């Protein structure tokens, strides 16, 4: 009798161990399927691209992205000289860390200044994002430069050509492209 009850007890123990093993297997499958679903959901993180601008009594400067997409890319640096009206800048090459492309454009004529008209002009310079599509024209960076004359409020938007290597290879600055002008005080556009 003793041997028989020991055998039944051991069978019960085997059954309960088997039961626990099956239960653990089922729980593991359910949890792993839940985790797999969580991992398949793409995480959408906000993309931040910083543009900066700063000015003093003589100059205004700004930075702006020159390429689209995630992961950075090339950044442009632009400076506006209040005395001469020259807006110049460069495209920082991410591989070499040097300015590989130069830009230069005088804003005084675009803003309606006549020679000798303003003795100490002041300006604002800021960059903005814009994906401009133009047919038959040079490709533009996904950024626009805005130059504002502080005395009249007139603002000119400039496109930044990219992918044009003719002048860049020869060391000649590329011109910025005036896109449009806004006259907030109702004046006629120059």
pLDDT tens by residue, 46-69 = 555 667 889 899 999 999 988 776
Question: How confident is residue 95, by pLDDT bands cut at 50, 70 and 90?
Answer: confident
Percent of the chain past pLDDT 90, that is, above it, reads 33
Predicted confidence (pLDDT) at residue 128 exceeds the cutoff of 80: yes
Q: Radius of gyration (Cα) for the chain, nearest Å? A: 33
Contact 178, 158 (CB under 8 A): yes
Task: State CA 57 to chain mean position distance.
Answer: 28
- Cα–Cα distance, 56 to 62 (Å, whole number): 12
Place of tokens 């543009």: 51
Query: What are the tokens at 171?
Result: 């060391």
Evaluate the CA torsion angle 124, 129, 134, 139 in order and state its sign.
Answer: positive
- Cα–Cα distance, 105 to 89 (Å, whole number): 9
């Amino acid at each position: 009798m003793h041997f028989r009850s020991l055998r039944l007890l051991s069978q019960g123990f085997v059954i309960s161990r088997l039961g626990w093993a099956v239960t653990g297997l089922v729980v593991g499958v359910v949890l792993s399927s839940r985790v797999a679903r969580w991992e398949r959901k793409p995480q959408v993180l906000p993309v931040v691209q910083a543009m900066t601008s700063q000015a003093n009594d003589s100059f205004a400067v700004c930075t702006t992205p020159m390429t689209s997409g995630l992961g950075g890319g090339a950044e442009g640096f632009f400076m506006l000289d209040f005395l001469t009206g020259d807006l110049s800048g460069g495209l920082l090459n991410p591989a070499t860390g040097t300015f590989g492309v130069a830009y230069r454009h005088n804003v005084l004529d675009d803003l309606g200044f006549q020679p000798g008209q303003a003795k100490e002009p002041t300006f604002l310079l800021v960059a903005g994002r814009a994906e401009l599509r133009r047919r038959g024209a040079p490709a533009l960076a996904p950024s626009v430069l805005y130059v504002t004359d502080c005395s009249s409020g007139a603002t000119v938007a400039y496109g930044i050509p990219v992918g044009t290597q003719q002048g860049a290879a020869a060391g000649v600055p590329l011109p910025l492209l005036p896109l449009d002008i806004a006259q907030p005080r109702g004046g006629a556009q120059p």
